[in-house]
Amino acid sequence: MKKYSFFIAVCIFFLFTILIVGYLYLQPEPKDMSYPTFVAQLEKGQVKEIIIKNDTFLEVKMKDHSLYQVPNPQSESMKEYFLLNGATVKNNKVNENLIIQILFMTGILGIGFFSYKKVMSKDKIQLIDVNNQKEKNKSICSFDHIAGNEEAKHMVKDIIDFIKDPDKYAKLGAKMPRGILLYGPPGTGKTLMAKAIAGESNVPFYAVSGSDFVQMYVGVGASRIRQLFKRAKKSQKAVIFIDEIDAIGKKRSPGLDQGNDERDQTLNALLTEMSGFHDNEGIVVIAATNRLDTLDEALLRPGRFDRLIEIGLPDINARHRILKLYLENKPMEKDIDLDKLARETVCFSGAMLENLVNEAAILAANQNSIKIQQKHLDQAFYHIIAGNEKKDRSSINQEDLSITAYHESGHALATKLLLPENKISKVTIIPSTRGYGGFNINIPKDRLYKTKQYILNDIKVLLAGRAAEELIFGSENITTGASNDIEKASQQIKEYIMKFGMDGELGLFNNDAANLNADSILLEKCRSYMKNLYKEVKHLLNTNIDLLHRITKELIAKETLNEEDIQILCEK
Ligand SMILES: Nc1ncnc2c1ncn2[C@@H]1O[C@H](COP(=O)(O)OP(=O)(O)OP(=O)(O)O)[C@@H](O)[C@H]1O
Ligand SMILES: [Zn+2]
């Protein structure tokens, strides 16, 4: 589209240039005429027009259309004299003005043309923002660019085969999925997977985002969808990718947003287009969402998005591979411990790991290092988790520092005692720019499930900060520093009871799922759990109070403790 409009613009430009040049130069050459002959002709009434060319010449047009060049007498009264004899007189400036006017008009027309094209094509640019030659190129994205996600790769192998040779499937009467839905947390590579499917099948990739359709006039979204499919069909085989499909395919909640015509129309257009393919067309629609639970069931019916593929957070092996993938083409020190980094980056998505490597590279450059070192990766890791260390710490008073130190040591000690399989990667009382007074980085083991015991201990670890404060400074002096812990603990206890049905007395009933409001029994239950767990962890810290003092003292002295430091302190 861009190329095409550029071509038209060039054509128009040349056309105008030719016209102007033609106007200027293709006029007949004027012949010379002496001034007396001219005067004689003028007085005979033969002269039609006189153009004062410059100080030397006049251009004279006769009534018979012949053109002459006459010396300019440069007299003040010549103009009136010419006019008296019935000739029109023009100043050459008029001519210049004409050229300027033409140029000006060309400019305006050019600008107008370009803006018109831009407005007209804006829709299309947004609609198919990756439909350029580069994206169409097969080598742009392949499975090699995706580390991990092996199950997902396996699940789309037949789709790729189908796109390559749809007839093979049609002949056997096999109905291939028209739509694939990739779901999972943000940054796990759903877009990457869709691109890789297109890349592996060597077909163009057309992408839109559901959020582009939000807040549009009725009918615009639907027409965009139709345009998108029309374009894809032109290339015969293609992958159409709709990111954030939840923006147009959200469940309709009864009573609420009823009559959202625009969204419904867009969704209907999509479903209609999808049912309009023939079985031997190699077009596949891939949609992605972070919120599978909010999707309208109509989208998931057979013939629509009926193949669901989860793209989950990477496990330790996948993290290792992703880190390696992004470090591979960067200069790095040989002794970098990727195993350690992969172990520590629990809950990191692929996008976060990529970001981690990039941050480390930036840090290395900032520190004028020619290679990425372990310390850069460590710094980047903490940076991503907790933000920057606050550089100016002179304003923190001793009392606050001491409270923070006991609070953090409380968390660390409780982790050591209650969740020994977790790794305390860092405890610090260096405040971060994100507003933490200090923090603990506690890395759980990669596990598929959490046990009941684990959840309870995890909540105790969360409460241990406040418990340590109370133990040391008294119940009147507890601080606001535990708000985040309390929030997380409350969330966990609610899930423990409701979501996971782990409370012996309340059993397996989930109020939320049954659309019942939380009743007072449930509330009481949560409070009583919290009270007991808090009491237990306070008692635990009290029985290990010497250790708590030791860790705190060391923490105040060093500001930051790592796994080994704490291990040594605990073994003393
Ligand atoms: N498994 C992976 N292997 C390699 N790179 C990955 C992987 N997962 C994510 N990435 C990197 O993270 C970036 C973001 O991923 P992508 O946009 O595909 O995620 P997404 O799941 O579509 O996210 P969102 O839901 O936020 O749109 C990718 O461009 C890629 O560089
Ligand atoms: Zn805390």
Which atom from ligand 1 is nearest to the alpha carbon of 290? 25
* Closest-approaching ligand to the CA atom of 465: 2
Residue (of 66, 1, 58, 53) closest to 27 by Cα position = 66
CB atoms within 10 A of CB 243: 20
Give the HSE-up count for residue 30: Cα atoms under 13 Å, Cβ half-sphere: 18
Assess whether 76 carries a catalytic annotation. no
- Check pocket membership of 210 for ligand 1, CB cut-off 6 A: no
57-62 β-sheet, strand order? 31-32, 67-71, 57-62, 47-52, 88-91
How many whole angstroms separate alpha carbon 96 and alpha carbon 85? Answer: 26
The architecture that CATH gives domain 316-386 is Orthogonal Bundle (1.10)
CA distances for 366 relative to 252, 361, 372, 375, 380, angstroms: 51, 9, 11, 13, 12
Find out whether 289 and 245 touch, Cβ atoms under 8 Å. Answer: yes
398-571 CATH: 1.20.58.760
How many whole angstroms separate alpha carbon 321 and alpha carbon 329? Answer: 13
CA of 438 to the centre of ligand 2 (A): 8
Find out whether 447 and 504 touch, Cβ atoms under 8 Å. Answer: no
Would the CATH topology of 2-98 be identical to that of 133-310? Answer: no
- Check pocket membership of 194 for ligand 1, CB cut-off 6 A: no
CA of 27 to the centre of ligand 1 (A): 66
What is 133-310's CATH number, 3.40.50.300, 3.30.390.50, 3.30.360.10, 3.20.20.70? Answer: 3.40.50.300
CA of 501 to the centre of ligand 2 (A): 27
CA 346 to chain centre: 23
Contacts of residues 20-26 at CB distance under 8 Å and 24 or more positions apart, as own/partner, are 20/99, 20/102, 20/103, 20/106, 23/102, 24/99
Find out whether 48 and 83 touch, Cβ atoms under 8 Å. Answer: no
Which atom from ligand 1 is nearest to the alpha carbon of 147? 3
CA of 520 to the centre of ligand 2 (A): 28
* Closest-approaching ligand to the CA atom of 410: 2
- Check pocket membership of 357 for ligand 1, CB cut-off 6 A: no
Find out whether 415 and 461 touch, Cβ atoms under 8 Å. Answer: yes
How many whole angstroms separate alpha carbon 252 and alpha carbon 516? Answer: 20
How many whole angstroms separate alpha carbon 300 and alpha carbon 223? Answer: 22
- Check pocket membership of 325 for ligand 1, CB cut-off 6 A: yes
pLDDT of residue 137: 38
- Check pocket membership of 306 for ligand 1, CB cut-off 6 A: no
CA of 518 to the centre of ligand 2 (A): 27
The architecture that CATH gives domain 2-98 is 2-Layer Sandwich (3.30)
Helix (H, G, I), strand (E, B) or coil at 70: strand
pLDDT average per 10 residues of sequence, the chain (572 residues): 60 73 69 84 85 84 86 79 81 64 74 58 40 42 88 91 88 86 94 93 91 73 88 88 90 60 80 82 91 87 89 91 92 90 87 95 94 92 79 77 95 95 88 80 81 95 96 94 93 91 81 69 90 97 96 93 89 80
Which helix (H) or strand (E) segment is 224 a member of? helix 220-234
Find out whether 537 and 463 touch, Cβ atoms under 8 Å. Answer: yes
pLDDT of residue 212: 82
3-state secondary structure 21-39: HHHHHCCCCCEECCHHHHH
Contacts of residues 293-300 at CB distance under 8 Å and 24 or more positions apart, as own/partner, are 294/246, 294/250, 294/251, 295/181, 295/245, 295/246, 295/249, 295/250, 295/251, 296/249, 296/250, 296/251, 296/252, 296/267, 297/251, 298/249, 298/267, 298/271, 299/181, 299/245, 299/249, 299/267, 299/271, 300/181
How many whole angstroms separate alpha carbon 538 and alpha carbon 532? Answer: 10
* Closest-approaching ligand to the CA atom of 406: 2
pLDDT of residue 555: 94
* Closest-approaching ligand to the CA atom of 412: 2
- Check pocket membership of 401 for ligand 1, CB cut-off 6 A: no
- Check pocket membership of 290 for ligand 1, CB cut-off 6 A: yes
Eight-state DSSP code of residue 497: I
Residue (of 149, 304, 164, 351) closest to 239 by Cα position = 164
CA of 311 to the centre of ligand 1 (A): 10
Per annotation, catalytic residue among 59, 200, 273, 408 = 408
Residue 135 corresponds to which tokens in the numbers above? 């994206």
- Check pocket membership of 149 for ligand 1, CB cut-off 6 A: yes
CA of 376 to the centre of ligand 1 (A): 23
- Check pocket membership of 292 for ligand 1, CB cut-off 6 A: no
Which atom from ligand 1 is nearest to the alpha carbon of 351? 12
Q: What is the DSSP string of 138-197?
A: GGGS-GGG--S-HHHHHHHHHHHHHHH-HHHHHHTT----SEEEEE-STTSSHHHHHHHH
Spans of all domains in the chain: 2-98, 133-310, 316-386, 398-571
Find out whether 522 and 498 touch, Cβ atoms under 8 Å. Answer: yes
Pocket test for ligand 1, best of 150, 180, 192, 243 (most atoms within 8 A of CB): 192
Contacts of residues 331-334 at CB distance under 8 Å and 24 or more positions apart, as own/partner, are 331/370, 331/371, 331/372, 332/371, 332/372, 332/373, 333/371, 333/372, 333/373, 333/374
CA distances for 65 relative to 30, 44, 288, angstroms: 11, 16, 75
Residue 36 corresponds to which tokens in the numbers above? 């007396």
Which atom from ligand 1 is nearest to the alpha carbon of 148? 1
How many whole angstroms separate alpha carbon 464 and alpha carbon 478? Answer: 12
Q: For residue 112, with 0-12 CB atoms within 10 Å meaning exposed, 13-18 middle and 19 or more buried, which class applies?
A: exposed
How many whole angstroms separate alpha carbon 179 and alpha carbon 294? Answer: 18
